[in-house]
Amino acid sequence: MKASASGFRWGKHAQLLVPLLSILLIMVFNLFRDPSFFSVYMSTNNLGNPVLAGNLISILNGASELAIIAMGMTLVTAACGGQDISVGALATIAGSVFVKILRAGEITMGAIAVAFLCCCVVAMLFGAFNGTLVSVFKIQPMIATLVLFTCGRSIAYWINGGATPTISSPLITAIGSFIPGCPIPTPILIVAAVALILSLIFRFTTLGLYTQTVGINQRAARLNGINPTLIKLASFLVLGVCCAAAGCISVSRLSLINHETMLLEIEMDAILAVAIGGNALGGGKFKITGSVLGAYAIQALTTTLYAMKVPSTDVKAYKAIVIILIVVASSPVVKQAAARLWTKIKARVPAKKEAAA
């Protein structure tokens, strides 16, 4: 970590090392396996528009929902020291509200905006429910969100009266895949927009600092005039909005909602993204960039496995092996052992040089 001489202080960004290295490792593996993995080319989609295609684009595109949810999950993790396992269910509820409202009338830009706002409100209400259990009743986040995890998908099913309705409109397709005339997939643009909004919030408000403070020491935060209850609740509300955005993207991709399979197990991937991103799952300091990189690392791994023609049902097993390798490599014990080894080698090398001289 002595790169400070070059003006770039690693100490501040050391946390990003793990996700970046993971992505790099996957990419290097692909380079040796099949260099054509990296080809990005223009093709035309069904509507005849020129669009970007290729594995790299599909990684960026496919990880959109995960990246958005991981951003919110990072905040909740940092503030509460626990994880929300109801995000998949929450996104499904939001998606189902989105569909319900759009099916009520003609689909126009205005209707989509209204539907999105409504599903944001609904998702924030459920987020507030989780947040209240966690912040006011002081229940561990994982248990508090187990409630919505259990019944969330059923609520989504119930909202649409037990059907899997479809919404078909060029506007919805534009949100889910490509805006005519723009070669970049829309979900990528949405992720960029969400990231921009969040980074503006962190730049111009104290939310980030306060969240970190509450996560590190709640009592100290309270003595400094920060209201931990409010900050925890706020983190759940932000997560709610993230889930709403992810839900809308997911619904728009397929133009239909299947409450059982939509964003299945995304809560697990999101928590994983947070952990790979180098954030402590016990709360405190956090870096949203790390989680987003973690999300892309997970998606890169999945896409690589698909490119290797691994059957979609078997992907999980290989994913698990890589995940274990990553976490073992970044575990404190292994890090210490590596550091000790490094000092030993360092001590030995000059000795040899002296001996040679």
CA pair distance 55, 37, nearest whole angstrom = 6
Does the protein bind another protein through residue 178 (CB under 8 A)? no
Least distance CB 307 / another protein (angstroms): 17
**Strand-pair partners of 40:** 54
Contacts of 333 (CB under 8 A, 6+ apart): none
Q: Which stretch binds another protein (CB under 8 A): 90-98, 178-186, 314-322, 340-348?
A: 314-322
Q: Are strands 40-44 and 50-54 parallel, antiparallel or unpaired?
A: antiparallel
User: Least CB distance from residue 2 to another protein, whole Å?
Assistant: 24
Both structure tokens of 207 = 């939310």
Q: Is 83 in the site for another protein (CB under 8 A)?
A: yes
320 binds another protein (CB under 8 A): yes
Helices then strands, each counted (H, E), the chain? 16, 2
Site string for another protein, 10-49 (x = CB under 8 A): ----------------------------------------
DSSP conformational letter for 53: E
- Closest approach of another protein to the CB of residue 92, in Å: 12
Distance CA(110)–CA(22), nearest Å, equals 42
Cα-atom radius of gyration of the chain, to the nearest Å? 22
| The one among 62, 187, 283, 290 contacting another protein by CB under 8 A | 283
Which of 7, 35, 48, 162 forms a contact with another protein (CB under 8 A)?
162
Per-residue x/- track, 190-219, another protein (CB under 8 A): --------------------------xx--
Among 334, 338, 339, 351, binds another protein (CB under 8 A): 334
* Options 1-9, 12-20, 327-335, 345-353: segment touching another protein (CB under 8 A): 327-335
Distance of CA 3 to the CA centre of its chain: 29
The answer to whether 339 contacts another protein (rule: CB under 8 A) is: no
> Binding string to another protein for residues 212 to 251, with x set by CB under 8 A, is what?
----xx----------------------------------
Residue 355: CB minimum distance to another protein, A:
36
What gap in Å lies between CA 164 and CA 132, rounded to an integer? 31
CA-closest candidate to residue 102, choices 175, 154, 179, 169: 169
Which residue of 316, 344, 346, 348 would you call a contact of another protein, by CB under 8 A?
316
Closest to another protein by CB, 67 vs 134, is: 134
Residue ranges in 255-331 assigned as alpha helix (H): 266-276, 288-307, 315-329
What secondary structure does DSSP assign to 75-124, as a single string? HHHHHHSS--S-HHHHHHHHHHHHHHHHHHS---HHHHHHHHHHHHHHHH
The span of 46-54, 198-206, 277-285, 343-351 binding another protein (CB under 8 A) equals: 277-285
Tell me how far, at minimum, the Cβ of 120 lies from another protein, in Å: 22
Instruction: Among 163, 281, 339, 351, indicate the residue that binds another protein (CB under 8 A).
Output: 281
Distance CA 325, CA 331 (A): 10
CA distance 128 to 144: 12
Residues of this chain that bind another protein (CB under 8 A): 81-83, 133, 137-140, 142-144, 146-155, 157-158, 162, 216-217, 268, 271-272, 275, 280-284, 311, 313-321, 323-324, 327-328, 331-334
